[in-house]
Each structure stands twice: as C-alpha cells, then as structure tokens.
Chains A and B, each alone.
Chain A
Amino acid sequence: MGNVARIGERVRRTEDRRFLTGAGRYVDDLQLARCTYAYFLRSPHAHARIRSIDTSKAAAAPGVVAVFTGKDVADAKVGGLICGWVVKDKHGEPHKAPGHPAIALDTVRYVGDTVAMVIADTAAQARDAAEQIEVDYEVLPAVIDPAAAVAASAVQVHADVPGNLSYDWELGDKAAVDAAFARAAHITKLDLVNNRLVPNAMEPRAAAAEYDRGTGTYTLYTTSQNPHVTRLVLSAFVLGIPEHKLRVVAPDVGGGFGSKIFIYADETLVLWAAGKTGRAIKWTAERSESFMTDAHGRDHVTHAELALDKDGKFLALKVDTIANMGAYLSTFATAVPTYLYGTLLAGQYTTPAIHCNVRAVFTHTAPVDAYRGAGRPEATYLLETIVSKAAREMNIDPAELRKRNFIAAGAFPYQTPVALTYDSGNYTPILDQAMKLADYAGASERKAAAKAKGKLRGIGISSYIEACGLAPSAVVGSLGAGVGQWESAQLRFNPTGNLQILTGSHSHGQSHETTFAQIVSDKLGIPLDQIEVVHGDTAQVPFGMGSYGSRSLAVGGSAIMKAADKIIAKGKKIAAHLMEAAEADIVFENGAFKVTGTDKNVPLGQAVFSAYVPHNYPLDKLEPGMDENAFYDPSNFTYPSGTQICEVEVDPDTGGVEIVNFVAVDDFGNVVNPMIVEGQVHGGIAQGVGQALLEYTVYDKESGQLLSGSYMDYTMPRADNLPSFNLGYQVTPCPHNPLGVKGCGEAGAIAAPAAVMNAVRDALAQVGAQDRIEMPATPQRVWQAIHAH
C-alpha cells in the first residue's frame, strides 16, 4: 500500500499517468455504437434575414440520416437557450433577454449562428451534404462595436430590445461619490478598452448522445465544467426530458476557462436529434467553429474617474462601462459585468465611495460570457490602471500610493462600499515581498541601462482582490441567480477499506483527483492509492454545481471535509462498540480510533469492515454501511489577494515588447498542494499576458466577419512569448471554511493584464506615449503609440 498524503505536500498527480500514455478519454475519443456525425451549417453573415432554406439536395446526399432547420426545431417545441441569471436594472426591471433559438428561425445575428444541422454516417459526409443546403439570405447591416450599439441611430439586433440595451445597471452611492469628487485635490480620468478574448481551451467543444429506446433514457457526453447544471437546464428549460431520464457525462475535459460552463445550441441539438433519429450522434467542433461559437470573454468600454486628496488618499471612484453581450445572452452572461465586476471595484483599497454604471448591449457578434476571472479581471485592470495613472500624475511612487490606500490588516472583516465583506487579508507584506522578488528598488537603474542601448524598460504593479468560491446561495439568489451555489460530496467506502470520493466539482485540468484525494488521505489517514475521485457523471455523483469561479476546493473541498467528519463520527460509534468504550472517550488519530488514555485502537479500515459485515455491530442504534453524503453552502466568498510585478523591455524600432521578469505573490489562504497551485498561477498569468500583449479578437466593423478566426490570426501565447515566473506566497487562512483555503484558479489571469500594461505604460512614458496604448499591446500598436504625434 502507498503512503498517506498530507495537506501542504507537493504530491504528484494521480491523473497524470493516463494523460501521459494517451489513455485519457475525452468526448471525441468515445466510440458509440452505430454512431452518426453531426455538422452544423453556420451563418456566413453577421446579420441577415433567411428568406428560404432548401435542404432537399442535402437530405438526398450519400450517408445522410437527417437534416434539421430552425423550423424543425421550433415545430418540435424545443425551448430556446436560456440565461440563468436575471439582473435587475437601475429601475428594478429585469434584463431584456431576447429569444435564443438553438437554430436560427428567420434571422441570423452573428457569423457562426446556427442555420441547419446535418446528420450523416460519417463526419465528411455530413459536411459534404451541408454544402448542398441552399440558403437565400437578405444581408442586413450589422452593429459590431458596443459603443456604437447604444447610439440612437444604431441598427437593432433584436426588434424587442430597443436601443440594443439588455439592462442599465448601477451599484454604489452616487451622491456620496459626487460629493467626494467636489472636494478632491486631484482627479485622474481614464478611458479604457478591455479587449474581447476567445477562450481557446485546447480541446474543442464536443458532444455525443444516444437514446435508449428500452428505458427511455438519454445519455449526453459533453465537454462540460458542470454536467449536473447542463442536465438541469436541458431538462427544465430547453428539451423537457425528465431529469431522471437524462444522464450527462463530462469525461476527461481538455480545459474550460469558463467556456464549457454554458449550455450551447450544439449539445442541445445533438441530444435532441439522438432522440429524434434513434441513432447515436457525435459532434466535435473544428477550431474555426470554436472561434466563431464559443462564448467569448471581456469586451468592455469604460470611462472611469478617481478622486484623491492632496496626499493621494482615494476619496471616490466612478465607473461607466458598456459591456458587450454579443448577439444573445449566454447562460451566465448578465452576472459577469455586474455582480462579478462592480462589486470588485474597491480592490485592496479603502476608497469610501464608489459608483458603477453598466450598460449591457447587444451586437452582431458571438455571445460573451464568463472567461477565466469573469468580471474580476475587468475590474482589476480598470482599478490598477487608474491607480498607476494617478501615481504618475501626482508624482507618487505607484507602490507607495497603493500602500497609502490599502485596507489595514486589522480592519477585517471589512465592508466595502460595493456590497462585499472581505473576510481576511494582509496586503502590505504581499506587496513588499513582490517588490523584493522583482528588485523594484533597482528598476530605475535597469531602465537607464536599457535606455543606453536604445530600449525602453518599464515596471508595473497590479495588486488584485478576488471574490471567488461561488458562493453563498442566499446571496446569489437575491442578486438574480437561478441556481444555488453549494457543492456536494459523497465518501463511499468499500468493504475492503478503499474509498471513492464522489464530488460535484469537475476537473478539467485543475487536478481534483489529486487534491481531493490528498485532503481525505490527510484527514482519514488512508493511503492515496486507496482513494478514487469520481466526478463528471450525473449517474454516479448525487448532484453538483460544477467548477468555475475558483470554487472547487473552497466549496467542493469543504463538502468533502464535512462528509469526512460524518465518517469519523460514525466510525467513533462503531469503534466504541467494538472496544466496549464510551463514545465520548474515542478520538480519531492517524487513521485509527483510540480510547483516550489507553493503547486500545480500531483502525478505520476495521470500522469500515464492521459496518459492511455487521456481525458484531450496534445494529439497534446504527445503520450498517459506510457511505456519507454532505452538502456545503459557504457563508461568504473567499477573498484571495496578491500583487504581481511585471518588467518589460520595449524595442522602439519594432514596437516589440519582451517580458523580462514576472513576479506574483499570492495569498490563497492555506495551500493543499503547492505544486498544483503554482501550476494554476502560471496558467493564469499566461492568459493575462495573452490578453495584455497578444490576444486580439477583431470583427470587421462593417461586415461583422471574424478577422481573427484561427491561430493564423489570433495570437495564442506560445512558450517563447513568456518567461519563467517568479512566485511567492503569504498566508492568511480563510476564516469560514474548514480547510482555510481561498480560490487560486483565476488570480493569475485577474492581475496580470494590469501588471503588464502598467509596465508597458511605464516604458512608454519615457517617450510620452503612455496614454496612447490599449490592450493588446501588439508590436504594431506600440510602434504606432510611440510614433503618433
């Protein structure tokens, strides 16, 4: 038998062997019996009326099983796709959510909108046949730019949404903000674009479905971060398949970053058509389809102003944002630029008055929803940019300005003016450690040395706060969420003493199979190799809300801890019986129940065996078996915090930006597996650097064509775009969950854009170009900023 793993150890991952030997099982790897293949015909136009569709040639093409159009789906009473979070606008009215049919009925509203579905014996035949479909489009003018969409003369995306406005929302005390601005010694103003991103999990989305005529049961295999939520939505709102007759399985999933939270038309149609045709159906997106149809991220245009007193104390912040929703509301789209954005605008600071206004608008582009960080990167980029800008304008060192405004270590729990109560934190030591690791003191010397060789160096700071570990159900419910945000766990022992952890969290790279096993191994003293983590299958796991918002360990892990407590409690009763001792005298230590003050003990395995073979067992008082369920609903978010410092060197001749050093110091509370946490930070930073320097999503402003629709045009971060990262930790344990942990999955992506861009702006300030650059700071844009006059 292997070893017991301890919390805090760099345990190597148990899932690695299968991934490293090609034995992972992703959706596209599954072989269903007599499987057919789906191909979706996509709209080539951003906005067009469908005058007619003729599918007769396609239906007669070789191998074709069925062809479906929007009319077929409507006739079958398939419900539209839903948005599961209803945001109320500043007048208390619910957001406007236009109908979102799985296949467009008479109008297409973005390039990639689904027009028809072809099912054939092979994937190539389905695509061959789709080319035979004749669609007569009346091409209409499109609106692409979110700022243009709110103009009075703008083209309307939906007839029933006047002004393209889903909602006009606000948070905070406007009067207090106005009063503070009136007495400010200095006001810093900022106009900022938060660029649209394409998530680009390396595994494209996929779905495979089959219908069992004998039992009337549907099974959907899908690339999902939350299979139970997918089942719930498809059952209750879209397809009407009873929840107990639908099994949703998310097997190995190759990354998600938010994009696989949502319920898309594609898996909906694959599942529906499997029932309709009686055949198993598989669909896997091609990457160019992913670019067009995965929910994108970010896409804000913002004006903000920060009021400061003469000493640089922040008095108030006001923010006016236009958030692009795309053509339809995706599953959780509305929450992202509101409750995951406006509530974060206090950052790490004591700013007493904050007001935020957000207009969510429709455009003829792909729907926008949560992408790693979701709202929090947008808030952090805005706040950390305006803070560094204020520092430059007031000639105060940006680190010093931050420290003057940090919430003090003794001030927790801290109520911000934007609804959140921070539970814990200690920000100054984090910044100090980051400055030391980055040799912040030596930055000006390095800047001078670079200048001597014709390069522009700059250093940038980003101090972030995150609210994650979604979330107290009552809180999110009061804000419009359609679901609870607890998590479930089941610890199921087998008679031979090994154990399955069934979790409602889903791992698509986050290493739950190791981390969750590690906490149970530590808690129950069971060797790691005796523990199996089961996730991603509604037929196995009781229920689950899935993985997003850096919630798996803080919420799912807490549920596991609760279930483990129940195991221990039951084991104590069994052990007391076996040792003929009082239950109150039993303690659980190192995997065994002991009678205090004696050397008598019953190992957990023996208690488990007794529970399953209850020959000598208190059956009059206790049920047999060792299988405990727990649900955990957190009392608050967790609030990880940290500071990143980035140093860049700009080549003024080409505009190229090289990252020469990148430091991240984080407070994630207690850390279960530092190796895994570091991996999460690395990946997050890379995505943040990608946003800052590389990833440029461009729709043609007139035609609405996606100009960055493949890796030929969309710049993915590659190994040579990035340095090795220099990480550090501070620990203030989370006071309200049993592990004392805070989420770590999104921090890197939340903080990095501002760190990089503050460095770029610091570099460009040497030539007066600091206010002429937006993300992504591509070589061309940097060069243009330097040479614009």
Chain B
Amino acid sequence: MYDFAYHKPKSMADALAALKKAADGKLLAGGMTLIPTLKQRLAQPSDVIDLAAIGELRGIKVDGNGVTVGAMTKHAEVAASADVAKAIPALAKLAANIGDGQVRNRGTIGGSLANSDPAADYPAAVLGLGATITTNERTIAADDFFKGLFETALKEGEIITSVTFPKPAKAAYMKFPNPASRYAMVGVFVAQTSSGPRVAVTGAGPCAFRVKAMEDALAKNWSADAVAGIKVPANGLNGDIHGSPEYRAHLVTVMAKRAVAAAG
C-alpha cells in the first residue's frame, strides 16, 4: 500500500470539504474493496476519507412504504434486522449471504453500491426492487444508477447517504457463487412490485441489469415456468476461468427460475 493522508470527519460537511481539498481523495466506507485494492497497489489516493464517524449515515428505518438503509449500515446489521426481515425478507437474506461473516461485519451498502462491482449482491436488490439512492445532492432511481463496470451515476464529490427500498408484494434472490471468490457469478433478484415484476441480474454483466423479457413473462404469469424458456444473450456477458458468457447466460435462467419459485 502507498501511504496517504487519513481523515475521519464527523459530519457530511467536513467529509465533503476534505474530499474537495484532496488532490485525489477516496472515500472509505467499510473498506472491503478499497483496502484490498490499496494493498495491491492498484490505486494511489492522496487522501483517504473515512466516513465511519458520521452518525447520520447509519441506521435502518422501516415504514409502511419500505425500508431505508443508511449508507454506512453494515451488511450484518441489515441481515440481523428483524424489521427488514419482516418488511423485505429477500433483502435480509441477500445481506446475510454477502461475502463472508467478517466482510458482512465491516462492509456497507453505500460502499458496495458506489463501487458497483459487477459481482456484488446489493446491486441486484437495488435494481430488482426499484430502490432509490439518496446522495448529499439528489435522489437517483435505481434504473439510472448503474452505468457500467465499476461505473455509476455518482458525480465527483457526491456521497451516497441512504438507499430506500420499496416493499414488494413478494421477492427473492438466488445466487450462484464463483467457486473461488464466492462473489456472485450470477445472482438474480426477482420482485413483484407495485409497478409490476422486476428481474435484476448481477455477476453476469459489466454491471447489474434488468431482463425485460422475463419481466413481461412474469407479468402475464408469475411462475418459474414463465421464465424457464427465456435466455439472455451471452454476447457481452462476463467470462473468466470459472464461467464463460454462455454458462453465465444459462445460469441467469436457472437462478431466475429458482428465485421466482422461492418468492412463491
């Protein structure tokens, strides 16, 4: 790791000021991606701004409309929240299976989304539930948030403060992990929402994406059979030693089928 200046602001205003002042500042949330990246010397920020002391970024609020999760809320907290488990059980279950136990104890929803790792789990839930991402500047609809490989709609100097998930009629997430890293090789989140069915895929492409053909089929007939025959094109999907684009495309259908069945 290259050395850097470390800051631990106590307020959003201080964090934004530190970020603005830094030549090449990086925000540190849970650090589950940033610190390994720094250790491998793949990044050399001048300043690291730790958001851990900003109390307003933490916490879970559940009301009749849905669940709002503060950006610095840890995966383990979402997984263990009885309120989340009651409102959106699929979300709690997803959080309970991110990474490993120690990753869940440190990793945060804001960090995960801002990083937009193609194999992260949360993007599937955000897109699958049609969540809203709130930043210090604005709110961003899930459909507008994920732009590409490690690329989001966030602008420079913009910090995620919370994410609001509307409560679906039913939902489920199914993941087929990469055997080595245990990240999602393919993860599919399906939800019956107020605006109709949503099917969001992570792991398979450069960033999370929706499968309209499956959503249309589910709108007509909410059943595993409805999606069983729908294949996403392999072209453009990720490929590595553990899964070719063709294999991933196939798994999207299998995981979608299983998610619909699990959602009931």
Contact = CB atoms under 8 A, between A and B. Distances in A.
Contacts of B251: 654
Contacts of A714: 180
Q: How would you classify the secondary structure of chain B's contact residues: helix, strand, loop or mixed?
A: loop
Nearest to B40: A288
B254 A712 contact: no
A713 B254 contact: no
Given A654-B254, A784-B247, A779 B241 contact: no
A634 to B, nearest CB: 41
B179 A778 contact: yes
A759 to B, nearest CB: 18
A779 B242 CA distance: 8
Nearest to A716: B180
B247 A715 contact: no
A412 interface: no
B247 A780 contact: yes
A783 B251 CA distance: 10
B229 to A, nearest CB: 14
A707 interface: yes
Contacts of B254: 653-654
Contact of A711 (B181, B243, B247, B250): B181
Contacts of A713: 180-181, 240-242
A468 B146 CA distance: 58
Interface string B190-204: 000000000000000
Contacts of B176: 654, 656, 779
Contacts of B242: 696, 713, 715, 778-780
B244 interface: yes
Contact of A780 (B1, B41, B181, B243): B243
Interface in A116-164: 124, 128, 131
Nearest to B258: A653
A712 B181 contact: yes
A707 B250 contact: no
Contacts of A780: 242-244, 247
Contacts of B250: 783
Contacts of A707: 240-241
Q: How would you classify the secondary structure of chain A's contact residues: helix, strand, loop or mixed?
A: loop
B180 A708 contact: yes
Interface in B227-261: 240-244, 247, 250-251, 254
Contacts of B1: 124
Nearest to A693: B179
B181 A783 contact: no
Contacts of A708: 180, 241
Contacts of B181: 711-713
B232 to A, nearest CB: 16
A699 to B, nearest CB: 10
Contacts of A58: none
B180 A779 contact: no
A329 interface: no
B199 to A, nearest CB: 18
B241 A712 contact: no
Interface in B159-177: 176
Interface in B17-60: 41
A131 B2 CA distance: 11
A394 interface: no
A515 B242 CA distance: 42
Contacts of B244: 780
Contacts of B247: 655, 780, 783-784
A655 B242 CA distance: 12
Nearest to B180: A715
A711 B181 CA distance: 6
Nearest to A128: B2
The 5 closest A-B pairs by CB, nearest first: A715-B180, A712-B181, A715-B179, A653-B254, A780-B247
20 contacts: A128-B2, A654-B176, A654-B251, A654-B254, A696-B241, A698-B241, A707-B241, A708-B180, A708-B241, A711-B180, A713-B240, A713-B241, A713-B242, A714-B180, A715-B179, A715-B180, A779-B176, A779-B179, A779-B242, A780-B242
